[in-house]
Structure 1
Amino acid sequence: MSPYPARTTEAGVVVVQPDGRLNMVAAPSLRRQLHALVDGGNSKVVVDLSKTEFIDSSGLGALISGLKVARQAGGDLRIAAPTRQVVTVLELTNLNRVLRAHDSVDGAFDDQP
């Protein structure tokens, strides 16, 4: 599976936008992409979940793995614009406490210089 669309904002934040189903088939690709971005020096990452219609434990694992490597590199991984299904899964697993959803990609890092 090829990497998901990614772009860099003017503030130097990399935005990755997975689409469709983020399950055991797609999650390894996202995990590799997030690790490659951080390894390449991009420690501030936003995952735009506005086009992700489904997420399972594998998808959550990819996000947590990306969060871990970003924080180890001195940055952070944030999620933005999750769909209702994604929000429900985050709430059911209590991961909404670790991966707080932001309304928009542009506002995800507003609290940092």
Structure 2
Amino acid sequence: MKLDHRDFEDARVVSFGDARIDAACAIQFKDEMRALSETGPDRLVLDMENVEFLDSSGLGAVVATLKAVRSGQTLELAALRPTVNRVFHLTRMDTVFTIHQTVDDALRHGDDVS
């Protein structure tokens, strides 16, 4: 599992380099996201463009990350593929997370939900 990040004026964009967020990487994902949320801007944007598959463990890891961000910090999602977006929709997590069409949209329109 590989996470990269870039800091912008008001956001830290975290890119997930693998095609799957599942049981095999969920714990490592949570640990690395926790470390990335401890410092940096108050907005975290998780770039999920490369993620083709998300199982219940992966969804749980993303939700756990949301719960673990520091006070006043937000976790937003960007660039969900249709199969991953469907998981968020079916579980109604799309009502919990701010979801942007692209990372550029997230950076331009921090409050807009798509």
Same fold (TM over 0.5): yes
Q: Percent identity?
A: 33
> CA deviation digits over 1:49-87, x for unaligned, max 9?
1100100111111111111222x4211000001011101
2:30 aligned residue: 31
Unaligned runs of 5+ in 2: none
Structure 1 counterpart SS, 2:83? helix
CA distance in 2, matches of 1:92, 1:67: 18
CA distance in 1, matches of 2:61, 2:23: 10
TM-score by length of 2: 0.83
CA distance in 1, matches of 2:12, 2:92: 26
TM-score by length of 1: 0.84
Task: Give me the CA root mean square deviation.
Answer: 1.8
Please list every run of at least 4 consecutive aligned residues from structure 1 whose deviation after the TM superposition is greater than 3 angstroms: none
Q: Count the aligned residue pairs.
A: 109
Structure 2 counterpart SS, 1:82? coil
* Residue pairs, 1:97-108, within 5 angstroms: 97-108=95-106
